[in-house]
Amino acid sequence: MYLTNLFLKNFRNYHTLELKLNRNLNIFIGNNAQGKTNILEAIYLLSTGDSHRTNVTSEMVNWQQDSFYISSLVNKKEQEFEIELLFKNRKKEVKINDNKLKKLEDLLGYINSIIFSPEDLKLVKGSPSKRRKFINLEISQINSYYYHNLQEYRKIIRQRNNLLKEIREGKSSKDMLVVWNQQLINLGSKIITKRLNALDKLSILARLMHRKITDGLETLDLSYQSSLDLSKDDTTVEKIKSIFTEKLKTNQQKEIQRGVSLFGPHRDDILFKVNDINIRKFGSQGQQRTAALALKLAELEFMKSEIGEYPILLLDDVFSELDSSRQRYLLKVIENKIQTFITSTEINKLHKLEENKNIYQVKGGKVMETTYNG
């Protein structure tokens, strides 16, 4: 899978930008705040329909403009198609080969991408919401039905929380909870099952990556931490439904008092252990970063196993945050097999990569292809 070109109009600090891309490696060099990350953001937006930096789409519109446009030619499994995304009148419109998609979520799966930024190095020690977001996006890119279930589940949570507050205030009856509980249990159990299956595969891959990075000195284990207190054998939808039902029944009064839904996939987490030690609490910064890197590299292999080819990899200023040994391993993994987009403030070791690469100088919203004369 690779992009052959990228066109931006009125996106961030770019009035107009057209790039012919290398199918292997594209390196964007420049000082901070010149527009390097904006290019990766545009690619990610074409892939997922969302930005990895902001939830406010209007922030991505060029100054004094009222819309932006992004397009790219994509080669996937030897077939080429064009993706276009227009943001205008506070709405996103997506076209595939000039055919408008009915829903934005239908975009998922056309371009599979993985982004790795300094923020992702905090994946291990950050809040549970970051890890839930990680696993949700990973599954959504290969299973649009999961994304649909996730959206419906979030609506149910909002409505159920409102009902819990009304019951607490004496404005509604407990009998109304029956309907919402059943919907919560049905969708929540499906979501948890998908997460368990995905994490089981990711855990194996991440363990292998981690052992290679640490020369076999450390073992990484990932486990799903469910608010339902599931055991290792509780992996089927029916079993999870049964446990979910009992959990809501025995904690009904507690939820009413709190006015929030306390159990379900929206409360779950992923536990990282290295040599049986919880590294979120007791690990060093180096251990946490190595685990995050291993997980990101595992994503590549996981997605390849699910869709049949590697996704596009977006590396946003990651090299400045990794030591030389982790840099070398990352470069070894991506070289010659994954279309990769790298941003950096200096060319340093990157010029030593494969001959088949494009190097771009980025300055003030202007991008010029260049060569390295080091």
Q: What is the pLDDT of residues 298-322, one digit of tens each?
A: 999 999 999 999 999 999 988 877 8
What CATH code is carried by the domain that includes residue 23? 3.40.50.300
Tell me the pairing of strands 25-29 and 14-20.
unpaired
Distance of CA 125 to the CA centre of its chain: 17
Domain boundary among 257, 276, 307: 307
CA nearest neighbour of 350 among 315, 311, 302: 315
pLDDT interval class at 348 (50, 70, 90)? low
Do 95 and 233 fall into the same domain?
no
Do 278 and 323 fall into the same domain?
no
Domain boundary among 283, 307, 331: 307
pLDDT at res. 353: 62
Domain boundary among 307, 333, 350: 307
Residue 12 phi, psi (nearest 5): 55, -125
Do 236 and 261 fall into the same domain?
yes
Q: Does the pTM of the predicted model rise above 0.85? A: yes
Do 218 and 332 fall into the same domain?
no
β-bridge partners, 27? 342, 359
Residues 221-246: tens digit of each pLDDT? 999 999 999 998 888 999 999 999 99
**DSSP H stretches of helix in the chain:** 36-48, 128-140, 144-168, 177-213, 237-250, 252-258, 279-282, 285-307, 324-334
pLDDT at res. 256: 96
For residue 229, tell me if it sits in a domain: yes
- Average pLDDT over every residue of 71-82: 93
Do 230 and 328 fall into the same domain?
no
Do 298 and 322 fall into the same domain?
no
Do 156 and 298 fall into the same domain?
yes
What CATH code is carried by the domain that includes residue 271? 1.20.1050.90
Do 287 and 335 fall into the same domain?
no
121 or 303, higher pLDDT: 303
Are 255 and 114 a contacting pair, CB within 8 Å? no
Kindly list the distances between the CA atom of residue 351 and the CA atoms of 73, 142, 309, 316, 361, in Å, as whole numbers in the listed order. 26, 33, 26, 17, 13
Do 12 and 42 fall into the same domain?
yes
Domain hosting residue 180, numbered range: 124-307
Do 131 and 146 fall into the same domain?
yes
Do 69 and 210 fall into the same domain?
no
Residues 142-195: tens digit of each pLDDT? 998 999 999 999 999 999 999 999 999 999 999 999 999 999 999 999 999 999
Q: Considering its fold, how many domains does the chain have in total? A: 2
pLDDT interval class at 350 (50, 70, 90)? low
For residue 117, tell me if it sits in a domain: no
Do 157 and 268 fall into the same domain?
yes
